[in-house]
Amino acid sequence: MANVAVVQAFITAFGSGDAETALGQLHDDVQVSEPASLPIGGEYAGKAAFVGFLGKVAANYDVEIHQATVRDAGDMAVAHLDLTWTAHSTGASLDTQFCELYTDDGDKITSINVFPKDTKALADLTDAGVARLP
């Protein structure tokens, strides 16, 4: 059974800007998968790599979580998020939804797989694009 409380605490802290609490919910070896079709997409292995990803997001976008629902799905937790992404370069905004799949070890999140509803619309928010992370 997934630890829904850990995932909810992560999302709530992340949404309120409490990075310390959010990162505290992650295992040091967390694996995060973002769609490769996004300029900020890729595979991030470890908490440090995820922090680098978050820095890239913060440098290019404002993200506001309007609602997050987390459900137990047996060996994982599923989160449905309603959010708005706003690109710093264009000021353009996108109201969208994400589905995120979380696994944990009982205490810490061990993996996050992220599925935006419309990756093209999210990528198109910036006119010149965002340099990919190495």
% of the chain with per-residue pLDDT over 70: 93
3-state secondary structure of 57: helix
Domains and CATH numbers, the chain: 4-123 (3.10.450.50)
Count, residues in the chain: 134
C-alpha 115/C-alpha 126 separation (Å) is: 19
- For 5: left if phi > 0, alpha if psi spans -120 to 50, otherwise beta; the answer is alpha
Taking only the tens place, the pLDDT of each residue in 92-118 is 899 999 999 999 999 999 999 999 999
Taking only the tens place, the pLDDT of each residue in 1-52 is 678 999 999 999 999 999 999 999 999 999 999 999 888 889 999 999 999 9
Q: For residue 128, what pLDDT is reported?
A: 46
HSE-up (13 A, CA, CB side) for residue 69: 5
Q: What's the predicted TM-score (pTM) here?
A: 0.90
C-alpha 75/C-alpha 4 separation (Å) is: 11
Say if CB 99 and CB 115 are below 8 A apart.
yes
Q: For residue 131, what pLDDT is reported?
A: 43
Taking only the tens place, the pLDDT of each residue in 6-19 is 999 999 999 999 99
